[in-house]
Amino acid sequence: MLVSITGLFAEPWVLTLLKVVCLFAVVMPMVAYAVVAERRISAWIQDRVGPNRVGIPFTNIKLFGLGQPLADGLKALVKEDLTPAHVRRVFYWLAPAVAMVPSFVVLAVVPFGSMLGSQRMVIANLDVGILFTFGIVSLGVYGVVLAGYASNSKYPFLGGIRSTAQMISYEIAMGLAVVPVFMLVGDLNLGSVIDYQRGGAWLLFKQPLAFAIFLIAIFAETNRLPFDLPESETELVAGYNTEYSSMRFALFFMGEYAAMIAGSALMVVLFCGGWMLPLGDYFNTPAQSLGQGLVHIAVFIAKTAMFLGLMIWVRWMLPRFRYDQLMNIGWKRFLPLSLANIILTAIVLWVMHS
């Protein structure tokens, strides 16, 4: 029996499944606490207190409101799941799932640590890593568009339309922004991108323009302020998810935050050295022991959390762009800039190599 269990662990699919489960078990609480962090940080910036009541259930222990996700989740689960009569039912039911799945699938190719035992800490070590990512991220727009279309009512419809235009525009800028990164690295595998940045040679410093464009494009892709036109509460009620309630709405919500986490993770991998820290060999070579491996994963999560914090922070910093300004920035500023960046990088590489 024992032999068969150890034999089972030698099977690659078992380990992959284990990694998937573990990743999910880490990302879901991160989503939950990103929501709490969003609410608390927003509150502090606006001189409010924020949710600080819910603690451990059935006790008076409040824990600074860290029990809030439990209450929110329970509320979403037990609320009435309302399907309006005028919706296109199949698409209406499909949309929340379609909105949520891509965000999680992106995480499959992200190397979130070095090694744990003999296992590389990435679920799918794809050689086309970044292309896969862009392919999947583009699918994210379908959830929003489907929701807007299926709701069959004006505000979600407008939200859906805006989101299509916005996501497609910024997809291009985002894709072109990272081209110089891969010109420098010479490989599309995200693991090699991290290896390239060993010892503090972060691409953030080598490609600041690419980083800036990518960062802003991620804001637009995840529908965060100042690019939250698909939702824009002040004009479109709640945008594409106006007609949704209870768990379906919660799925959209979780999908949005999972997309934020995926975007942050991508930024960490591409520009901020992934799990590496410029603090000597311990943080820069693949882990030999379990403890070192866990430290590397912790470093990665900490960096991701920092980007999440930035996304929440920026939300209260800038007002929403007008639709034409959004298109202007996407097509007339970022597209030429990223193209120029590619050409500049190409010239520098050509001069250095010849």
Partner 1 sequence: MKVNRTELTWWERLYLPTLLNGFRVTLRHFFSRKRSGVYGDKQKKFAAKTTMQYPEEKWDVPTGYRGAPYLVKDVDEKTKCVSCQLCEFVCPPRAIRITPPGDTGVVDRDGAEKMPKEFEIDMLRCIYCGYCQEVCPEEAIFLLKDYAITGESREELIYDMEKLLELGGADKRAYDHHVQDGVGEGIKKWETKTREAGEQPEFH
- End-to-end Cα distance, the chain: 62
Report the nearest approach of partner 1 to the CB of residue 70 (Å): 21
Report the nearest approach of partner 1 to the CB of residue 54 (Å): 14
Task: Mark 169-186 as b/e (b = at least 16 C-beta within 10 Å).
Answer: bbbebbbbbbbbbbebbe
d(CA 270, CA 254): 24
Question: Looking only at residues 97 through 136 of this chain, which bind partner 1 when binding is defined by CB under 8 A?
Answer: none
d(CA 286, CA 120): 9
Residue 317 is a binding residue for partner 1 (CB under 8 A): yes
Q: Helix, strand, or coil here: 119?
A: strand
Report the nearest approach of partner 1 to the CB of residue 202 (Å): 22
Widest Cα–Cα separation across the chain: 71
Which residue number, 291 or 319, has a Cβ lying nearer to partner 1? 319
Please count the residues of this chain forming the interface with partner 1, following the rule CB under 8 A: 12
Report the nearest approach of partner 1 to the CB of residue 228 (Å): 16
Report the nearest approach of partner 1 to the CB of residue 49 (Å): 4
Give every CB contact of residue 354 below 8 A, 6+ residues apart in sequence: none
Query: Residue 222 has which token pair?
Result: 């995840």
The one among 4, 12, 25, 47 contacting partner 1 by CB under 8 A: 47
Residue 71 is a binding residue for partner 1 (CB under 8 A): no
Segment near partner 1 (CB under 8 A); pick from 19-27, 180-188, 202-210, 310-318: 310-318
Segment near partner 1 (CB under 8 A); pick from 4-12, 43-51, 263-271, 275-283: 43-51
How large is the C-alpha radius of gyration of the chain?
21
Query: Residue 187 has which token pair?
Result: 């490989």
Residue 86 is a binding residue for partner 1 (CB under 8 A): no
Residues that bind partner 1 (CB under 8 A): 41, 44-49, 313-314, 316-318
